[in-house]
Structure 1
Amino acid sequence: MQSIINNSNVSINSGFYFSRPLNEKILLVQVLVGIFLYVNFIMIFTFLKKEVFREDTRYILFAQTLFNDSLLMLLTDLAVVWSYYSYLIPMIPCCILCTLMNWLNDCTPLTLVAMCLERYVAICMPLRHADISNSRNRKIGLLIIWTISSLMPLLTLIGFIAVNPSSTMQSSVVCSIEIMLTFTWQSQLRAVHLQLYFICMFVIIVFTYIKIMMAARAASSDNKKSTYKSLRTVLLHACQLFLCLVQFLTQYIEMVVMQIDFMLFINVRYSNFIVFVIAPRCLSPLIYGIRDEKFFLVLKDHALFGLPKIISGAFHVNQHGLKCVKTRPLQMLHT
């Protein structure tokens, strides 16, 4: 199932716990998560401060990705720390936490697909872009994203409650998504869902990439630059989506490795967490926070707490003052 929690914690059913040599790795994760949350906070603040961003579909989807990934990373990091110290929590809060993380985790790839489709409409159907990307359609699109991404997590939760006795819900556990997969058929159902998930999104990404590439070749010289930029954006989204979707498959590799060597299993899980959880979510700030010129100008001002404007204003004042100093002797000569 979801490997976000599993990437840094071990199976409660197997009775394994983190060994002390992982302490430095856990510290590294805290640093990476702290930097990630700070950058995302600045970008969310930038989005909220400018009305022009709140009325553009691609920036709205970008802001949803930032919010979704930030909350997911915060909850995941909390689960990692709890698992590392073998902290017991009641089963009901654990189930809610795992369901929420599953929900947020499934939401990110769908949002990335929606962002690619938005670029496809903007480039390949520019005359209809304003009509398609209106406020009503944006709300419907966001509702569809959150609804589809909630289906499997809610089914997993309902299945867990249905197949386990009520006494199980009153116990305390080291929280892990693995405890919600009581029977093999639950894991198989999740695997089928993820495979369909992967195929559908892969087809959509390839379709949008090919269409935008065709539009780029047919575009005039004035529009080629923006079209090719959108093409690179879709390609980056494809890489980001690929990493997110591969994350769904890492649990099967981890299960095989755990049967071979436990310490190797821990190292593989830790590497999967860095590469397939943290890394793809660091691409969103790169794609829209740095590559987008309009957003980057506002972001730079907020990230530096308005320092560029202060320096620029002081520079102009100094220039004006120097000019007055230079002209004063000339005025004295004329008098």
Structure 2
Amino acid sequence: MANNSSLVGGQVSLLKLWDTIIIVQVLVIIFLSINAFLIITFFRKECFYTTTRYILFAVTLLSDSLMLVISDILLLVNYFRFTMQVWICVIISVVVLLYNIVTPVTLTAMTLERYVAICMPLRHAELCSTRSTMHCILIIHALSSVPCIVILSTFFASASLGFYKQYNLCTVEMFLFYRWQDHVRSAIHEFYFLIMVIIILFVYVKIMKAAKAASGEDKKSSWKGLRTVILHSFQLLLCLIYLCGPLIEAAVIQIDFMLFINVRFSNYILFGLTPRCLSPLIYGLRDETFSHALKHFASFGLYKRNV
């Protein structure tokens, strides 16, 4: 009788999990469609792909879209218990680990761009030229690759050559042979979190002072920039919570496996998907220039207002 109850309970849990999977698929399709629409709009106007804040915005869109596709594929693969050789999972994980960090680092760079635009307007053209932005993107990817290199280095040092040919589920736990590896990964993420928080607070204080000291159009621009920084801060917070998710999951899996699965799905939806939908809100709808371009593109040219 107890076995039958456990079986029924397991089937109910799997059905609930399947409902969550369907919800995730709907959300991913919606977000990818919005991102694709925004990316097409970005490339249709020269003023977008020659302006620093829009270029960085496009980087976040491309990074988020890539992460949505790969993470969703891994979600489905793991749900249906498909295994793959470890070396294939390592290649996929390089992309996941890299672009998990690229978005928060790019958001931090975008807040610094707002700081330069508002607090150092005379140097904005020099510091935020197209050439400087390309260098900035390279620096963003270099900084974002450090956690990936460290995590994979500890894995390569611990795994035997035969392990790469084995078939396993592609999950983050596959890379953790020892407890200290988890501590190293957490320490790196916490260090990045601390640096980003310091930068965000610095920019917030500086723009706040500039907003109080400004007048007229400058004051309006400063307060608008401050609101953008606050939205970036919230988006960044969600991204960083998602990076810290494995810490919570590692504790929960010791208690109950189904609770662990539910927590992992909740983390993915709340802190994995949600930040990806805030970028369109911040620059797709709030930014006047981009908003006009979106309306013009969406109406097939019928929206004639000068952008």
Give the TM-score taking structure 1 as reference length: 0.84
For structure 1, the residue ranges without an aligned partner over 5 or more in a row are 1-17, 313-335
One-letter code aligned to 2:272? V
Deviation at 1:301, TM superposition (A): 2.4
One-letter code aligned to 1:92? W
Report the CA distance shift for 1:85/1:299 in structure 2 as closer, same or farther (over 3 A): same
Deviations 1:119-176 (A, max 9, x none): 0000000011001111232122111100010112122223222221111011111111
Q: Which residue of 1 aligns with 2:259?
A: 264
User: Within 5 A, what are the aligned runs for 1:151-170?
Assistant: 151-170=146-165
Deviation at 1:308, TM superposition (A): 4.2
Secondary structure at the aligned position of 2:177 is classed as coil
Deviation at 1:307, TM superposition (A): 5.1
One-letter code aligned to 2:61? L
One-letter code aligned to 2:169? V
User: Within 5 A, what are the aligned runs for 1:90-169?
Assistant: 90-169=85-164
Within the alignment, does 1:73 sit opposite 2:68 as a pair?
Answer: yes
Decide which of 273, 279, 290 is 1:295's aligned counterpart. Answer: 290
Decide which of 208, 223, 226 is 1:228's aligned counterpart. Answer: 223
Report the CA distance shift for 1:185/1:286 in structure 2 as closer, same or farther (over 3 A): same
Secondary structure at the aligned position of 1:259 is classed as coil
Within the alignment, does 1:61 sit opposite 2:59 as a pair?
Answer: no
Q: Which residue of 1 aligns with 2:268?
A: 273
Secondary structure at the aligned position of 1:260 is classed as coil
One-letter code aligned to 1:129? H
CA distance in 2, matches of 1:40, 1:222: 31
Deviation at 1:114, TM superposition (A): 0.2
One-letter code aligned to 2:269? I
Secondary structure at the aligned position of 1:52 is classed as coil
Q: Larger Cα Rg: Structure 1 or Structure 2?
A: 1
For structure 2, the residue ranges without an aligned partner over 5 or more in a row are 1-12
One-letter code aligned to 2:87? I
- Asked if structure 2 preserves the Cα contact closer than 8 Å seen for 1:46 and 1:299, the reply is yes
Within the alignment, does 1:204 sit opposite 2:199 as a pair?
Answer: yes
Within the alignment, does 1:252 sit opposite 2:254 as a pair?
Answer: no
Q: Which residue of 1 aligns with 2:10?
A: none
CA distance in 2, matches of 1:272, 1:204: 25
- Asked if structure 1 preserves the Cα contact closer than 8 Å seen for 2:155 and 2:176, the reply is yes
Deviations 1:77-115 (A, max 9, x none): 000000010011111111111121010001111000000
Q: Which residue of 1 aligns with 2:210?
A: 215
- Give the number of the structure with larger relative contact order, counting CA–CA contacts within 8 Å between residues 6 or more apart: 1
Deviations 1:274-317 (A, max 9, x none): 110101111111000000010011112223444546xx9xxxxx
Q: Which moved more, 1:298-307 or 1:93-102?
A: 298-307
Deviation at 1:222, TM superposition (A): 2.3
- Asked if structure 1 preserves the Cα contact closer than 8 Å seen for 2:51 and 2:130, the reply is no
One-letter code aligned to 2:224? K
One-letter code aligned to 2:220? K
- Asked if structure 2 preserves the Cα contact closer than 8 Å seen for 1:42 and 1:302, the reply is no
CA distance in 2, matches of 1:250, 1:122: 34
Decide which of 24, 28, 49 is 2:44's aligned counterpart. Answer: 49
CA distance in 2, matches of 1:303, 1:270: 33
* Pairwise CA RMSD: 1.5
CA distance in 2, matches of 1:27, 1:307: 36
Deviation at 1:56, TM superposition (A): 0.4
Give the TM-score taking structure 2 as reference length: 0.92
Report the CA distance shift for 1:307/1:90 in structure 2 as closer, same or farther (over 3 A): farther
Decide which of 26, 40, 44 is 2:21's aligned counterpart. Answer: 26
CA distance in 1, matches of 2:116, 2:183: 36
Q: Which residue of 1 aligns with 2:278?
A: 283
